[in-house]
Amino acid sequence: MGFVLTTPDGRIGDGPVDRVAEVAAGMPLCRHRGPDEPGTWHDDRVVFGFNRLATIDIEHSQQPLRWGPPDDPERYAMVFNGEIYNYLELRAGLTEEFGAEFRTEGDGESIVAGYHYYGPSWVSRLRGMFAFLIWDTREQVLFGARDPFGIKPLYTAELADGIGFASEAKSLRALLPHPDPAVSSADGTAPAVVDKTALQHYLVLQYVPEPESMDAQLRRVESGTSFTVAADGTMTTQRYFHPIFAPRPVTSEASKRALYQQIADVMDDSVGKHMRADVTVGSFLSGGIDSTAIAALAKRYNPNLLTFTTGFERQGYSEVDVAAESAAAIGVEHIVRLVSEEDLTSTLPLIVWYLDDPVADPALVPLYFVAKEARKHVKVVLSGEGADELFGGYNIYREPSSLRRITGLPGGLRKGLAAVGRVLPQGFRGKDLLRRGSLDLEQRYYGNARIFREEQLSGLLRSYSPDVSFADVTDQVYAQSTGVDPVSRMQHVDLFTWLRGDILVKADKMTMANALELRVPFLDKEVFEVARHIPESEKVTPKTTKLALRKAMELVVPPHVLNRRKLGFPVPIRHFLAGNSYEWARGIITSAQTEQYIDPAAVLALLDAHKAGTADYSRQIWTVLVFMLWHEIFVTGSVKPEVPHPIYPVRL
């Protein structure tokens, strides 16, 4: 985390608040992200603090890192969360072109040295996941950036005397004013302040969209952006990565084979670079093509690869057997962690504490436990996140084709069909098809999760505003993708919403909660450069998704997985909330001090209707429960999860 003073004539510690001590106080709150060694540094304008998880150049590369050219070797200070996978190539190029000198064998120096010689544009050359801050002590300028897809988080807050940054919101709150110590979050820091707009978005999307945070005092630096804080304290932000899909036709068999080979080659290259580490690297393994392809490619670089999977014992909610079969087929040792209903209910408050912002994806729970198991054996794992967004893997991407008979009709006829759909009884087959077919793509698609609809929100949310809409989030994204096919436009929206709001948040937070580094080879800018040109016909068909990827992986992935339907880490909350977990959920609803935001009677009505079998309201109930727990942890402090002390070996 870091703090930069934006009043140049001031000095750290001269005022009523000692920012050095506050940064030091915030560091233990995210110690799980880096239990190997803490470090701090400061000058008159900047305070840096860092908790290191050592995976490359373990004996050296301590942070905050100091680097400079031979005539000013301490010019820059940097804190950097993540990994740069092409750091060896970058270092070699800088040495050859500029005679750059390096003091460590790590990847961090490749960032700051490149910034010195090339300036802010250097960030576009980095292949990796990162959030970093570089302080130029000579020019008194702070430069920072976040990786292209948003794999690593970065929160920020404007303060009276400066700007704060941190990987986790709970640490950043240590810098916020705390006028009433009697009212604190569970961490003893300043309580969060609920952003009502963010809450409404969350109840629709199941996550808070960037750059918002559920805490109105904080914001998030967006994926693919860099920023500069000038000597006078002025902060400017710029987007350096524009992930635009530009499909190219593939018609001949020869061109198809060339595409498949290109995908296979870039994936092998990405996995190879993601395997770079001075510690043991394992891999998550579910029953689908994404994680299986990653694990099979990783085995080429580590014949003793360990793989990990999880699931629930309930039939239909586990891919343990398929994953075990895949592990046997590719010849890797496999470790399983089963999750119980008691695991889910007892651990959810702790999981919400690690999250910082509420994310109502039940898959967080098994992911937390499989990460906890994996950390007993390895320090780094690979995973398959991003394949669906890049290669067209979600079943919803087939909807434009299935709706074409309706969306191709004249507007008046479509409106008439919509009117017919509205009078059909709830649950009538085809009702939702008519409704969605009557809408333009921009109106009907705003990501993979659709929790509460407008008519449901108005009776649930005390501060419901008809002027707040998912379109506030998606319209500007859709505006960047005109002129391409509907599937590519849906993928583009998901890159800016679902992927960075849900998928990557849960991946980072649940693994880092266990001091486990997760790497995602699909989310590599070179992989995207290939994937962005794949035509719709090679992504989705009436029978399958990710067609080109499946074809590319035919010689890598076992046949029983190659065309298997995506399942992931499913969670049986529908059964739990109607059975043994009903009283647990009811207890949270009745005790939470959220009446000013949520009508508890409306939530209890959903819970009772769900228990009675009237309808499946499990996702809506779960979404509210996660927010209520978040509120009780970070606003009232009435729920205080017992956070385990992160004691792990420095080397694995």
pLDDT, tens digit, 9 for 90 and up, residues 525-579 = 999 999 999 999 999 999 999 999 999 999 999 988 888 766 656 789 999 999 9
DSSP state of 628: H
Are 61 and 112 spatial neighbours (Cβ–Cβ below 8 Å)? no
SS3 category, 372: helix
In a domain? residue 575: yes
295-342 confidence digits (pLDDT tens): 999 999 999 999 999 988 777 677 788 899 999 999 999 999 999 999
Q: Which helix (H) or strand (E) holds 518?
A: strand 517-519
Positive or negative torsion for Cα 89, 504, 266, 335: positive
Q: Which helix (H) or strand (E) holds 398?
A: none
CA distance 572 to 443: 30
**Burial code of 125-151, b = ≥16 C-beta within 10 A, e = fewer?**
bbbbbbbbbbbbbeebebbbbbbbbbb
- Which residue type sits at 547? L
Find the CATH number of the domain harbouring 43: 3.60.20.10
Q: Does residue 440 have a known ligand-binding role?
A: no
In a domain? residue 192: no
- The CA–CA distances, whole Å, from 191 to 162, 211, 273, 635 equal 20, 20, 41, 5
CA distance 262 to 529: 11
Taking the CA atoms of residue 191, residue 196, residue 198 and residue 204 in that order, the dihedral angle to the nearest 10 degrees is: 130
CA distance 375 to 515: 7
| Average of per-residue pLDDT across 503-508 | 98
**pTM score, whole prediction:** 0.95
Identify whether residues 32 and 138 lie together within a single domain: yes
468-496 confidence digits (pLDDT tens): 999 999 999 999 999 999 999 999 999 99
Identify whether residues 374 and 457 lie together within a single domain: no
Tokens of 175: 């810098």
CA distance 125 to 37: 29
Identify whether residues 362 and 452 lie together within a single domain: no
Bridge partners for 237 per DSSP: 227
In a domain? residue 463: yes
Identify whether residues 222 and 276 lie together within a single domain: no
Q: Does residue 72 have a known ligand-binding role?
A: no
- Report the pLDDT value the prediction gives residue 9, as an integer from 0 to 100: 66
Q: Which of 444, 466, 493 is the last residue of a domain?
A: 493
Q: What is the 3-state secondary structure (H, E, C) of 303-360?
A: CCCEEEEEEECCCCCECHHHHHHHHHHHCCEEEEEEECHHHHHHHHHHHHHHHCCCCC
Identify whether residues 332 and 404 lie together within a single domain: no
Number of domains in the chain: 3
- Report the pLDDT value the prediction gives residue 88, as an integer from 0 to 100: 98
Find the CATH number of the domain harbouring 571: 3.40.50.620
Identify whether residues 537 and 648 lie together within a single domain: yes
- Report the pLDDT value the prediction gives residue 566, as an integer from 0 to 100: 61
Task: Report, in this order, helix, strand and coil percent for the chain, each rounded to 5.
Answer: 40, 15, 45
Percent of the chain with pLDDT over 70: 96
Q: Which of 461, 493, 525 is the last residue of a domain?
A: 493
Q: Does residue 430 have a known ligand-binding role?
A: no
Q: Which of 493, 514, 546 is the last residue of a domain?
A: 493
Are 577 and 622 spatial neighbours (Cβ–Cβ below 8 Å)? yes
CA distance 572 to 318: 10
- Which residue type sits at 218? L
Are 358 and 630 spatial neighbours (Cβ–Cβ below 8 Å)? yes
Q: At what angle do helices 471-478 and 486-496 cross, to 10 degrees?
A: 120
CA distance 377 to 284: 12
For 560-563, which contacts have Cβ atoms below 8 Å and span 24 or more sequence positions? 560/322, 560/325, 560/326, 560/329, 561/287, 561/288, 561/289, 561/292, 561/322, 561/326, 562/289
In a domain? residue 183: no
Are 263 and 548 spatial neighbours (Cβ–Cβ below 8 Å)? yes
Identify whether residues 123 and 263 lie together within a single domain: no
- Report the pLDDT value the prediction gives residue 383, as an integer from 0 to 100: 98
Identify whether residues 17 and 158 lie together within a single domain: yes
Mean pLDDT of the chain: 93
Bridge partners for 40 per DSSP: 49
Identify whether residues 570 and 645 lie together within a single domain: yes
Number of H helices, E strands in the chain: 28, 17
Tell me the DSSP string of 128-188.
EEEEEEEEETTTTEEEEEE-TT--S--EEEEETTEEEEESSHHHHGGGS--S-TTS--TTS
348-360 confidence digits (pLDDT tens): 999 999 999 999 9
In a domain? residue 312: yes
- The CA–CA distances, whole Å, from 513 to 30, 134, 165, 371, 437 equal 9, 26, 19, 8, 42
- Report the pLDDT value the prediction gives residue 100, as an integer from 0 to 100: 97
Domain range enclosing 456 = 398-493
Integer-rounded Cα radius of gyration of the chain:
25
- Report the pLDDT value the prediction gives residue 50, as an integer from 0 to 100: 97
Identify whether residues 18 and 113 lie together within a single domain: yes
Side-chain half-sphere of 490: how many Cα atoms within 13 Å?
Answer: 26
Positive or negative torsion for Cα 88, 90, 93, 95: negative
Identify whether residues 471 and 531 lie together within a single domain: no
In a domain? residue 209: no
Percent of the chain with pLDDT over 90: 81
Separation of CA 435 from chain center? 31
Positive or negative torsion for Cα 328, 329, 331, 337: negative
In a domain? residue 454: yes
96-123 confidence digits (pLDDT tens): 999 999 999 999 999 999 999 999 999 9
In a domain? residue 287: yes
Are 173 and 187 spatial neighbours (Cβ–Cβ below 8 Å)? yes
- Report the pLDDT value the prediction gives residue 652, as an integer from 0 to 100: 46
Identify whether residues 465 and 515 lie together within a single domain: no
The runs of H, that is alpha helices, within 513-568 are: 525-531, 547-552, 559-562
